Amino acid sequence: MTHTQSIRRMMGFSSKARSRAYSIAALALAAAAAGCKKDQLLQVTDPDILNPADYTTPAGSTPLRVGVIANFTSAFDGGTDSFTTITGNLADELLASDTFDGRLTINARRSAETNSEMEAVYRAMQRARTAAQRAAQTLAVTAPTPKANIGEMYMLLAYSEMMLGEGWCPGVPFSSEDGVSTTYGQPLTTDQMMQAAVAHFDTAISLAETNARVLNGSKIGKGRALLNLGKFAEAAAAVTTGGAVPTNFVLTTSHSSNSNSNGAWSASTSGASRYRLMSGEGKNGLTFLGQTPAQDPRINWTTSTRVGFSSQFTAQPNQTKFGQYIDGAVATGAEAKLIELEAQLQANTQAARDAVFAALNALRTGGAAIGGTTGTTLITVPALTGSAPTTNDAALDLLYKERAYWMWLTGHRLGDLRRLVRVYKRDTEAVFPTGTLTSPLEGTYGTSTTIVVPFAERNNPNFKGCLDGK
Phi, psi of 49 (to 5 degrees): -115, 130
The separation between the first and the last C-alpha atoms of the chain, rounded to the nearest angstrom, is: 45
Expressed as residue numbers, the domain containing 201 is 58-256+328-456
- Report in angstroms the alpha-carbon separations of 173 from 273, 319, 406, 462, 464: 33, 35, 32, 8, 10
Residue 426 belongs to domain with CATH number: 1.25.40.390
pLDDT digits (tens, 9 = 90+) for 71-88: 999 999 999 999 999 999
pLDDT at site 51? 74
pLDDT digits (tens, 9 = 90+) for 306-330: 999 999 999 999 999 999 999 999 9
pLDDT at site 295? 74
pLDDT at site 408? 98
Let me know if residue 303 belongs to a domain: no
CA 188 to CA 463: how far, in whole Å?
Answer: 10
pLDDT at site 468? 87
Let me know if residue 130 belongs to a domain: yes
Let me know if residue 264 belongs to a domain: no
pLDDT at site 77? 98
pLDDT at site 48? 59
pLDDT at site 4? 34
Provide the 10 A C-beta neighbour count for residue 239: 27
Tens of pLDDT along the chain (470 residues) come to: 433 333 233 233 333 333 333 333 333 333 444 444 545 545 555 555 667 777 788 888 999 999 999 999 999 999 999 999 999 999 999 999 999 999 999 999 999 999 999 999 999 999 999 999 999 999 999 999 999 999 999 999 999 999 999 999 999 999 998 878 899 999 999 999 999 999 999 999 999 999 999 999 999 999 999 999 999 999 999 999 999 999 999 999 999 998 899 999 999 999 999 999 999 999 999 999 976 545 799 999 999 999 999 999 999 999 999 999 999 999 999 999 999 999 999 999 999 999 999 999 999 999 999 999 999 999 999 999 999 999 999 999 999 999 999 999 999 999 999 999 999 999 999 999 999 998 888 999 999 999 999 999 999 999 999 998 77
Cis peptide before 382 (omega within 30 of 0): no
Let me know if residue 354 belongs to a domain: yes
pLDDT at site 320? 96
Let me know if residue 269 belongs to a domain: no
Q: Structure pTM?
A: 0.89
Cβ-contact 153, 136 below 8 angstroms: yes
Let me know if residue 198 belongs to a domain: yes
Cβ-contact 131, 67 below 8 angstroms: yes
The residue among 250, 248, 268 whose CA lies nearest residue 324 is 268
3-state per-residue secondary structure call for the chain: CCHHHHHHHHCCCCHHHHHHHHHHHHHHHHHHHCCCCHHHHHCCCCCCCCCHHHHHCHHHHHHHHHHHHHHHHHHHHCCCCCHHHHHHHHCCCEEECCCCHHHHHHHCCCCCCCCHHHHHHHHHHHHHHHHHHHHHHHHHHHCCCCHHHHHHHHHHHHHHHHHHHHHECCCEECCEECCCCEECCCEECHHHHHHHHHHHHHHHHHHCCCCHHHHHHHHHHHHHHHHHCCCHHHHHHHHHCCCCCCCCCEEEECCCCCCCCCHHHHHHCCCCCCEEECCCCCCCCCCCCCCCCCCCCCCCEEEEEECCCCCCCCCEEEECCCCCCCCEEEEEHHHHHHHHHHHHHCCCCHHHHHHHHHHHHHHHHHCECCCHHHCCCCECCCCCCCCCCCCHHHHHHHHHHHHHHHCCCCCCHHHHHHHHHHCCCCCHHHCCCCCECCCCCCCECCCCCCECCCHHHHHCCCCCCCCCCC
pLDDT at site 438? 87
Q: What's the structural domain count of the chain?
A: 1
Let me know if residue 466 belongs to a domain: no
pLDDT at site 37? 53
Let me know if residue 377 belongs to a domain: yes
